[in-house]
Amino acid sequence: MSQVRLLSPLPARPTTDPVRRRMSDSVETGAGLGTPDRSSSGRTVEGRRPGRLKRAVLFYKQVVAELRKVIWPTRRELLTYTSVVLVFVVFMTAIVSIYDFLFSQGVLRVFGNG
């Protein structure tokens, strides 16, 4: 039996902002899952540690609750971010390749071809 008591949230004011609506929805659905009262040793108040399956289920529920809080990018934002990253990677690869070529040519001129 769990020692955690979940209280109902305060009534939320209606909002038209989609971000605040998602945040209030997560509160209303109980997305902020409580954790059992634990002492410093990691055991529950009852003295027993929950089984692996219960801990795995609790972890999964907490992951899902946190993912619901995430503000996901729109398709347009995602395409913009992806293109910026790809352009940056290509640019940096070109710079490193140019420096590599120039330094290798310099080393060959200083020390000869072998």
Q: Tell me the per-residue pLDDT of 46-96, one tens digit each, with 9 for 90 and over.
A: 678 888 999 999 999 999 999 999 999 999 999 999 999 999 999 999 999
pLDDT tens per residue, range 9-48: 877 676 677 666 666 565 555 555 555 555 555 565 667 8
Q: Are 30 and 6 spatial neighbours (Cβ–Cβ below 8 Å)? A: yes
| Rounded distance between C-alpha atoms, residue 48 and residue 34, angstroms | 18
Cα angle for residues 14, 16, 20 (degrees, 5° grid): 80
* Domain limits, the chain: 7-72, 73-114
- Quick check: pTM over 0.75? no
Grouping H, G, I as helix, E, B as strand and the rest as coil, residue 92 is helix
Question: What is residue 2's DSSP assignment?
Answer: -
Residue 16 belongs to what H/E stretch?
none
Whole-number Å distance between alpha carbons of 39 and 33: 19
Return the structure tokens found at 8. 């109902």
Q: Which residues contact 58 (CB under 8 A, 6 or more apart)?
A: 33, 35, 50
